[in-house]
Amino acid sequence: MMLISTFDLLLLIIYFLVVLWIGYYTMKKISTFSDYSVAGRTMPFALIFATIGATLAGGGATVGRVSFVYDTGIVVFLALLGVVISQVLIGFFIAPRIRKMKDVHTIGDIMEFYFGRSGQLVSSIFSFLFMIGIFGVQVLALGRILEPIIGLPFLTLTIIGAVVTIAYTWAGGMLAVVYTDAVQFILLVSGIATATIIGVNNMGGMTEIIDKVAAIDTDHLVFFGGPWTIGVFISTFLSFLLGEALAPHYIQRYAASKSSSITKWSTVSFAVMYIFLTIVIMVIGLIGFVVFPSMEGDMVFVNFVIEYLPIGVIGLVFGALLAAVMSTGSSILNAAAVIFTKDIYRVLINKNASDKRMLQWTQYTTLIVGIGGVIVSLFIPNVMELMLYAFQLWAPSILPPLAIALLWGGPLERKVSPYAGAPAIISGLIITIVWLNFLGEPFGIPAIIVGILTNLIVFGIIHMKTSNKISNTII
C-alpha cells in the first residue's frame, strides 16, 4: 500500500525523469574517455562544490546517520567531526596536488606514478571492490527510502532505484554525475533543512526535544557513556576521519576542476558546511528517538517524513533523500567503471585499447558494478554497518601509502620507494580483516589502528631497504 499522496508521488516521478533527462542530454556531449571520466577537466567552483557535497552526503550520511544517532545518541556528532577535519586537511594539502598532476583519471594513475605497475594494480583491484561495497550502501539506502512510501517489496524497490541511478550514469558519465549532483545538492540542503525546521516546531522547540530524550535515556545526550568506550569512539572517529579520505570518487572530482585553486576551496568550503548538515541530521535522529520507540534505525528518517511533514513537503524531502543517495551512488558507479577500464582492463586485458574501446568498456562496467552493489546490499542489510565496515578496510590499506606519496615533496616529486606501496597495502588489509573478523579486536584495540600501524611499518621497512631505487621510478 502506498503511504504518500498522489501529489508527492508525482514530485518523485518528476525528479526521476529530470535526472534521466540529464543523463540523456549529457550523453550527446560525451565523445572521449576523458569526457566520461573527468568531464574534460572544465568544472567551475560551484559545480565542484556541489558534486563534492552531494557525494559526501549520501545514503550513509542521511538515512544511516539518523539511524546512528537514534541508536547511540549525540556522541555521533563528535565522531562525525572526523569527516570535517579530513576534508579540510585534504582540501588544503592534498587535493590541489592531485589536480596539478597531468592526465589523472583514477587513483591507479597516481599510484602508478609513485609505486609503478604493482602499486597501480593492487590499489586498483581493491579500489574497484571497495567501490562495489560503497555502492551497496547507496543501493540499500534507496530501498529503505522507497519501501515504506511505495509499498512494494524491499528488493523490488532496491532494484528500481539502482536501475535509474545506473541508467543516467551509464549514459552521461562524469558529466551527467556532476550536473545531476548540482540539482541533487540543492534538493538535499533545502529538503533536509525544511524537514528539520518543521520537526523542531512540531516538537515544541529544541529544549523540549532535549528534555524528552533525557526522560527516556540520559546516555543519549552525553558524549561518552554506555557502549561508547574510548576504544569504540576512537575506532569510529578514525573510520570517519580516514575511511573515505581520498576515495576514488573524490579523486575524480579533484581532477575534474578547472584549476587547483578551485579544487582546494571547493573541498574546504563544503567541509565547513558539513558541520551544518551533521547538526541537522543529529536533530532528526533525536526526534525519531522520542516519537518512534523500538523502530529499526534505518527506517526512522523515512517514517519521520511520512508522519510529520505536510503534503508537498513530503515529496520535496523524499526527493532530497533520493538525491543524496543517488548522487553518491552515481559518483561511485562512474569511479569504479573508470578504474576498471583504465587500470585493470587496459593493463591486463587489452593494452592497446583505443579511446573509443575504453569508453565502451567503461559503460559496460557501470552495469556490472551496479548489479554487484545490489548483491552486496543483500548480505549486509544495515546502511551504517555496511558503510563503517568498508571504511575500516580503506583506511589501513590504500590511504597510508597514497597520502605519504602525495605529501612528501612537491606535487610531481617521487620521494617514496616504488616497491613500498603494494606490500604495505596488502599487509594492512590482511591484518585488519584478521584482527576484526577472526580475532574480534582483542584487548579492545581497534582493527583500524592495528591495520594502519602494520601498513606504516611494512612501508617504512621496504622504503628504507629499497630507497636507492627511487631515481629509477618512471615506469
Residue 242 is placed in which grid cell? 580516514
Which residues, at least 6 apart from 104, have a Cβ–Cβ distance to it below 8 Å? Answer: 38, 98, 110, 251, 255
Same domain, 353 and 432: no
Residue 304 is placed in which grid cell? 519521520
Domain count, the chain: 2
User: What count of Cα atoms within 13 Å lies in the side-chain half-sphere of residue 7?
Assistant: 6
Q: What is the pLDDT of residue 304?
A: 86
Same domain, 446 and 314: no
Domain limits at 419? Answer: 396-475
Q: What is the pLDDT of residue 220?
A: 87
Helix, strand counts (H, E) of the chain: 19, 0
Residue 311 within a domain: yes
Residue 270 within a domain: yes
Q: For residue 228, list its beta bridge partners.
A: 225
Same domain, 407 and 375: no
Same domain, 231 and 375: yes
Pick out the chain residues at pLDDT < 70.
1-3, 28, 36, 38-40, 58-60, 149, 151, 172, 224-227, 324, 380-384, 470-475
What pLDDT, in 10s, does the model give residues 48-81?
888 888 777 766 677 778 888 898 888 878 888 8
Question: How many whole angstroms separate alpha carbon 415 and alpha carbon 407?
Answer: 9
Same domain, 365 and 452: no
| DSSP E strands, 178-322 | none
What pLDDT, in 10s, does the model give residues 166-202?
887 777 677 777 777 777 788 878 888 888 999 999 9
Which residues, at least 6 apart from 58, have a Cβ–Cβ distance to it below 8 Å? Answer: 137, 138, 141, 324, 325, 327, 328, 329
Same domain, 127 and 166: yes
Same domain, 377 and 350: yes
Same domain, 406 and 268: no
Same domain, 320 and 444: no
What pTM, to 2 d.p., does this model score? 0.81
H helix or E strand, kind and range, residue 166:
helix 154-203
Residue 188 within a domain: yes
Of 383, 413, 429, at which residue does a domain stop? 383
Question: How many whole angstroms separate alpha carbon 146 and alpha carbon 154?
Answer: 8
Q: What is the pLDDT of residue 105?
A: 79
State the burial class of residue 336 (Cβ atoms within 10 Å of its Cβ: 0-12, 13-18, 19+).
buried
